[in-house]
């Protein structure tokens, strides 16, 4: 029997976390058994951390971007070297199975690679000036301190998407991890501190601030934080957005998802079943991209549901430390409470729980839920609500228009998919009058996006985009430049003056 505390301590030590950080008032429990792992020191003075990071930014912004890229390259190497340690901490703190924990760390390595390339590609445009002898162009400059607020379910990847990109953009970062996952944050931060020291970059370029709501609020309200990138619930985003906007700061919000897949009559049902089970039951339903709604053509609904129920019955639920486990624990008792409440509400609305919904006794006080499939007569309020647990609601449709209308009739707009072998149907789903989400897939589930694309969604998901593509622009400020080399003063729009 592995001693969980010792395993966490070893991984933290290997990553270079000092003992002093591991004595304090914030208790960290593992969802595997509910026992206390360690306790960590909370940050007393967030403003001091922000001020220090701001001073570091003032130096860092003048370092050439490709040189900044070299720091991120080293960070990626260190993460790769410590892939096992970081994955162990992700499993212990967030409850992920080994392959998903390793996958999360792989996202960190991938985004570092991406950001290194990006460090030579922070392109501005040049535009033809309407005046002779004039040049019109734009330059992208570093922005300042980026406040990163992250959630328990992707405790390290989401930080790395923000931080790798922010660092090459010339920004500093102050990170507030979830109170549920501070250990992984300390490990990442220690690795980055090492890369910073080796690169002789400013020591305060990255700071972790640990604690509860007050810590987040101090970051959100700081005038020295021009961008707050926050991942979490829509409720949290509803508070953060207006507060940052009130001081004319920017936000990048990654909030709730209520992701659906449409399954059409031409779909490969075996492929769809595998994709659906991973998307709906993987990570115990605790991804913001988790598949929560299935909209199935009535002609294939019974067949698909039968395949799903068979697959769900065989799902290995248990300790993520055991090889073969596919579904680990929910993060805590509250999450289990939300799951049972949602199932009760679904039953009241006429839903039928076809499989799952119970709790498995696995180890101590861990909350191991059986992923559930619930057939619903209609898209009722509970189906339109994001419950962060493995519940898949099944609805049926007759026409694709009806399926798309149902699909879009929820407040959230993160990720979506269609399973079809009919090109017209696929194209319709991808079109302007198709899915209204930020991520729209064909013949693949809603979760497990690659880092190369921009990640984020519409409506109550918050509208932010992070990770790949041109998401970097949110981390910089744009200056439009007009340079007059004509030797004469020519006013635009042919204006005459003086
Ligand atoms: C999240 O759940 O907050 O697409 C992020 C995915 C992962 C990231 C999820 N690459 O499922």
| Residue 164: inside a domain | yes
Instruction: Give distance in angstroms: CA of 391 to centre of ligand 1.
Output: 17
Same domain, 207 and 301: no
Phi and psi angles of residue 74, each rounded to the nearest 5 degrees, phi first: -65, -40
445 and 291 Cβ atoms separated by less than 8 Å: yes
Cβ–ligand 1 contact at 96 (below 6 Å): no
Same domain, 208 and 171: yes
Q: 95, 288, 291: which to mutate for ligand 1, most atoms within 8 A of CB? A: 288
Predicted local distance difference test score (pLDDT) of residue 482: 98
| Residue 490: inside a domain | no
Task: Give one word for 32, left, alpha or beta, with left for phi > 0 and alpha for psi -120 to 50.
Answer: alpha
| Residue 60: inside a domain | yes
| Residue 494: inside a domain | no
Same domain, 89 and 158: yes
Same domain, 15 and 116: yes
Q: Please choose, from the candidates 305, 290, 312, 425, the residue with its C-alpha nearest in 3D space to the C-alpha of residue 376.
A: 305
- CA torsion angle for 4, 6, 8, 12 (degrees, to 10)? 180
Active site residues: 254
CATH number of domain containing 310: 3.40.309.10
Token look-up 């498995």 returns 360
Total number of domains in the chain: 2
Cβ–ligand 1 contact at 158 (below 6 Å): yes
Same domain, 233 and 265: no
| Residue 491: inside a domain | no
Instruction: Give distance in angstroms: CA of 157 to centre of ligand 1.
Output: 8
Residue 378: count other Cβ atoms within 10 Å of its Cβ: 10
Same domain, 59 and 80: yes
- Tens digit of pLDDT at every position of the chain (498 positions): 579 999 999 999 999 999 989 988 999 999 999 999 999 999 999 999 999 999 999 999 999 999 999 999 999 999 999 999 999 999 999 999 999 999 999 999 999 999 999 999 999 999 999 999 999 999 999 999 999 999 999 999 999 999 999 999 999 999 999 999 999 999 999 999 999 999 999 999 999 999 999 999 999 999 999 999 999 999 999 999 999 999 999 999 999 999 999 999 999 999 999 999 999 999 999 999 999 999 999 999 999 999 999 999 999 999 999 999 999 999 999 999 999 999 999 999 999 999 999 999 999 999 999 999 999 999 999 999 999 999 999 999 999 999 999 999 999 999 999 999 999 999 999 999 999 999 999 999 999 999 999 999 999 999 999 999 999 999 999 999 999 999 999 999 999 998
Same domain, 284 and 402: yes
Same domain, 335 and 428: yes
Query: SS3 for the chain, per residue?
Result: CCCHHHHHHHHHHHHCCCHHHHCCCEEEECCCCCCEEEEECCCCCHHHHHHHHHHHHHHHCCCCHHHHHHHHHHHHHHHHHCHHHHHHHHHHHHCCCHHHHHHHHHHHHHHHHHHHHHCCCCCCCEECCCCCCEEEEEEEEECCEEEEECCCCCCCHHHHHHHHHHHHCCCEEEEECCCCCHHHHHHHHHHHHHHHHHCCCCHHHEEECCCCHHHHHHHHHCCCCCEEEEECCHHHHHHHHHHHHHCCCEEEEECCCCEEEEECCCCCHHHHHHHHHHHHHHHHHCCCCCEEEEEEEHHHHHHHHHHHHHHHHCCCECCCCCCCCCECCECCHHHHHHHHHHHHHHHHCCCEEEECCCEECCCCCCEEECCEEEECCCCCCCCCCCCCCCEEEEEEECCHHHHHHHHHCCCEECEEEEECCCHHHHHHHHCCCCCCCCEEEECCCCCCCCCCCEECCEECCCCCCEECCCHHHHHEEEEEEEEECCCCCCCHHHCCCC
Cβ–ligand 1 contact at 287 (below 6 Å): yes
C-alpha to C-alpha distance for 417 and 449, rounded to whole angstroms = 12
Predicted local distance difference test score (pLDDT) of residue 480: 98
Residue 298 CA, chain-centre distance (Å), reads 34
- CA torsion angle for 86, 194, 27, 224 (degrees, to 10)? -120
Same domain, 232 and 265: no
| Residue 90: inside a domain | yes
Same domain, 125 and 233: yes
Q: 287, 290, 466: which to mutate for ligand 1, most atoms within 8 A of CB? A: 287
pLDDT digits (tens, 9 = 90+) for 151-190: 999 999 999 999 999 999 999 999 999 999 999 999 999 9
| Residue 496: inside a domain | no
Give 394's Cβ-side CA count (13 Å radius): 23
Same domain, 470 and 429: no
Q: Give pTM, 2 decimals.
A: 0.97
Predicted local distance difference test score (pLDDT) of residue 498: 87
Same domain, 227 and 309: no
Cβ–ligand 1 contact at 447 (below 6 Å): yes
Cβ–ligand 1 contact at 439 (below 6 Å): no
Interface pTM (ipTM) of the complex? 0.98
| Residue 485: inside a domain | no
Predicted local distance difference test score (pLDDT) of residue 1: 56
Q: 108, 237, 289: which to mutate for ligand 1, most atoms within 8 A of CB? A: 289
Q: Which two tokens stand for residue 208?
A: 């972790």
Q: Which domain holds residue 52?
A: 4-255+462-480
Instruction: Give distance in angstroms: CA of 455 to centre of ligand 1.
Output: 8
Q: What is the CA radius of gyration of the chain?
A: 24
Token look-up 């007393």 returns 44
Strand-pair partners of 253 = 230
Classify strands 412-413 and 458-459 as parallel, antiparallel or unpaired: antiparallel
Phi and psi angles of residue 371, each rounded to the nearest 5 degrees, phi first: -55, 140
């Amino acid at each position: 029997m592995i001693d969980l505390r010792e395993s966490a301590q070893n991984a933290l030590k290997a990553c270079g976390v000092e003992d002093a950080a591991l004595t304090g008032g914030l208790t960290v429990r593992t969802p595997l058994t509910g026992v206390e792992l360690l306790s960590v020191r909370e940050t007393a003075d967030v403003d001091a951390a922000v001020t220090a990071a701001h001073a570091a930014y003032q130096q860092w912004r003048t370092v050439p971007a490709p040189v900044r890229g070299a720091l991120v390259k080293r960070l990626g190497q260190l993460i790769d070297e410590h892939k096992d340690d970081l994955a162990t901490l992700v499993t212990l703190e967030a409850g992920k199975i080994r392959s998903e924990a390793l996958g999360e760390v792989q996202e960190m390595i991938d985004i570092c690679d991406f950001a290194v390339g990006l460090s030579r590609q922070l392109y501005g445009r040049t535009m033809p000036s309407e005046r002779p002898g004039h040049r019109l162009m734009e330059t992208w400059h570093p922005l300042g301190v980026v406040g990163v607020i992250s959630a328990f379910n992707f405790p390290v990847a989401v930080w790395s998407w923000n931080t790798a990109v922010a660092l090459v953009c010339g920004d500093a970062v102050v990170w507030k991890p979830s109170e549920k996952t501070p250990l992984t944050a300390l490990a990442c931060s220690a690795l980055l501190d090492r890369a910073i020291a080796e690169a002789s970059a400013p020591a305060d370029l990255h700071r972790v601030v640990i604690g509860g709501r007050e810590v987040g609020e101090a970051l959100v309200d700081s005038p020295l934080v021009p961008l707050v990138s926050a991942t979490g619930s829509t409720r949290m985003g509803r508070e953060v957005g207006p507060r940052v906007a009130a001081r004319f700061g920017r936000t990048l919000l990654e909030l709730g998802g209520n992701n659906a897949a449409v399954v059409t009559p031409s779909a490969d049902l075996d492929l769809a079943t595998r994709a659906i089970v991973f998307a709906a039951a993987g990570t115990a339903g605790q991804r913001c991209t988790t598949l929560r709604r299935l909209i199935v053509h009535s002609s294939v609904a019974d067949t698909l549901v039968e395949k799903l129920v068979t697959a769900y019955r065989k799902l290995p639920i248990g300790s993520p430390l055991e090889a073969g486990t596919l579904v680990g624990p929910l993060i805590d008792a509250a999450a289990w409470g939300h799951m049972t409440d949602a199932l009760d509400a679904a039953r009241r609305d006429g839903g039928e729980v076809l499989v799952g919904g119970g709790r498995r006794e696995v180890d101590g006080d861990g909350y191991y839920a059986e992923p559930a499939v619930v057939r619903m007569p209609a898209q009722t309020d509970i189906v339109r609500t994001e419950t962060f647990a493995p519940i898949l609601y099944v609805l049926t449709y007759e026409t694709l228009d009806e399926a798309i209308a149902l699909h879009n009739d929820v407040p959230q707009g993160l990720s979506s998919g269609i399973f079809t072998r009919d090109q017209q149907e696929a194209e319709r789903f991808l079109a302007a009058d198709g899915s209204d989400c930020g991520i729209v897939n064909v013949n693949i589930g809603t979760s497990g996006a690659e880092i190369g694309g921009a990640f984020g969604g519409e409506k109550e998901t918050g509208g932010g985009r992070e990770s790949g593509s041109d998401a970097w622009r949110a981390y910089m400020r744009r200056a439009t430049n007009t340079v007059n080399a004509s030797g004469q003063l020519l006013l635009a729009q042919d204006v005459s003056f003086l």
